[in-house]
Amino acid sequence: MRRHACGRSHSLSEDFVSEQTFADLGIHSKIAQALGEHGYTTPTPIQAAAIPPALAGRDILATAETGTGKTAAFMLPALTRVAELPPPAVAAPRILVLAPTRELASQVTQAARKYAKPLRMNIIDVVGGMPYGEQLRMLSRPVHVVVATPGRLIDHIERQRIDLSAVEVLILDEADRMLDMGFLDDVERIADACKASRQTLLFTATLDRRMSQLAGKLLRNPERVAVQSQATAINVEQRLHHTDDMEHKRRLLMHFAGQGEVGKAIIFAATKRDADALAEELSAAGHAAAALHGDMDQSKRNRTLQRLRTGQVRLLVATDVAARGIDVRDITHVINFDLPRSAEDYVHRIGRTGRAGASGIAVSFASRADRETLSRIERFTGATLAIHTISGMEPQRSFSGGTGRPAGRPANRGGARPWQRDGGMGRPQPRAERW
C-alpha cells in the first residue's frame, strides 16, 4: 500500500464555466476529435480541474457526484496515457476501473468505448451476472481497459485468469459506494495486485474518515479536486407528505400512480423484498410496474431498464444500490416510498429526474419515525421540503408530537407484509384534486 501526503487542492463550483476546449487540456488528438463528433467541446468543472494533473501523472483524489462529468474526467487522461504504449499482453490490462455496481460498470464501459473508438482499444467489463465463459473468452485476447466490479474481479484473480501487474492507471469510481457495500478488503487486495508505480485516480461523492483512510493507503501525493455541487437539482420540485403508517403510505402511492401527470417514475424502497412486493401490487392494480434490485441477474436487470426506456415499464420500484447510475432522461417523478439512510443518497435519488433541462418532481413520504432522517436531508440540502396533502388522505397523527411507538413499519417481523394486510392495495377512487 502507498501512503500519501496532502497535495494541491482545486475547489470549483458546478456553475464554473471553462473557456478551454478538450484539445486545450492536452488529451490525445484522436480522442478530442471523437468528442467533437459527439458534440462535446467544453469540459465541465471536474474535467477542467482533474484532467491536466492526471495527464501530468499525478494521483487524483476527487469529490464529485453523478452528473458532473466525472467519467470523462478520469477516462480521458487514462486513455491518453496508454494510447502510445505497446499493445497489451493477453489478460494484462493497462487501465483498470473499479465500479460498485454492474449498471455503473456498463455505463463506464460504453463511455470509454465511445471516447477511444479512433484508437481501436479493446475495452471490456467484468461484472457479476455475466457468464464466466463469456468473460474468459474476452480475457483470452489482448485487452487495454477492464471495467470491473470488485467481487467478480477477485474471482478472476483467484483463478489466475487476469494479470494486473501491467496496470498503468487504477481508477476507483464511486469509491464511497464500494465501501458502503463492504468491498474495502477487495479493493485493497486488487490495488495490491497492480504495479506499485501505477497512477491512481479516486473519485467519491463523499469524503469521510473511512474514505480518507483508503486514500491514504492507495494514493501518493494526490492532487485534491473538489466540485462544490449544489445539493439539489434546480429543476426538481421537492414535496413532502407526512404519513401515519404503512397503510397510509401505500394509499398515497396508489393515488400518485394513477395520476396522468406521472410519465415515468422511479419509486425507492428500503429493501429488495419491499421493491418486489410494491412492484407486484402496482402491477396487480393495472400499472406497468417492475422491480430493480441486486438479487436480479444482469440480463434481467438490463431487460428491465430497456423496458423502462421504451415505455413498457412506467413505474420502476428500486433499491438505492440497484438504481445507482441509472440514466433514463425522461423520468418525470421520483417517489421516496422509504426515505434513504443518508442525505447524500437522497440527492442521488432525486437526481434521477429533472435531467437535460427538463423539470421533475420528487415526492417523499415521512412518518414520525423519519423525523431525524428528514432533518438530516434538509440540513444537507439547505432547504425545507414543502409539505403537501391529498384531500381525503390527510395524516391523522401529529408529525411532531405523540408518545409511544412512532408511526412507520410495525415492530413484528413475521406474518403478512404491511401492504398486504387488507388484501391488496386496490386503486383508490378517482379524485379531482391536483397533487
- Per residue in 208-230, pLDDT tens? 888 999 999 999 999 999 875 55
Q: Cell triple for residue 404?
A: 409511544
- Find the Cα–Cα–Cα–Cα dihedral 188, 189, 192, 195, rounded to 10°: -110
Cell numbers for 33, please give them. 476529435
Burial class of residue 21 in the structure, from the number of CB atoms within 10 Å of its CB (0-12 exposed, 13-18 middle, 19+ buried): middle
Q: Is the pLDDT of residue 148 over 70?
A: yes
Distances (CA, A) of 81 to 26, 58, 334, 404: 11, 12, 40, 62
Beta carbons of 244 and 395 less than 8 angstroms apart? yes
Rounded Cα gap, residues 233 and 214, in angstroms:
30
What is the mean pLDDT of the segment spanning 164-189?
Answer: 94
- How does DSSP assign 51-97, residue by residue? HHHHHTT--EEEE--TTSSHHHHHHHHHHHHHTTSPPPPBT--SEEE
Nearest to 271 by CA among 377, 125, 419: 419
**Which region among 223-232, 305-314, 367-376 has the lowest average model confidence (pLDDT)?**
223-232
Residue 355, C-beta contacts closer than 8 angstroms, at least 6 positions apart: 67, 235, 329, 331
| pLDDT value of residue 132 | 85
Domains and CATH numbers, the chain: 9-228 (3.40.50.300), 236-410 (3.40.50.300)
Kindly report, residue by residue over 63-110, the tens digit of the pLDDT: 876 667 889 999 999 999 999 888 777 778 999 999 998 888 998 999
Residue 285, pLDDT > 90, answer yes
At 234 the pLDDT is 60
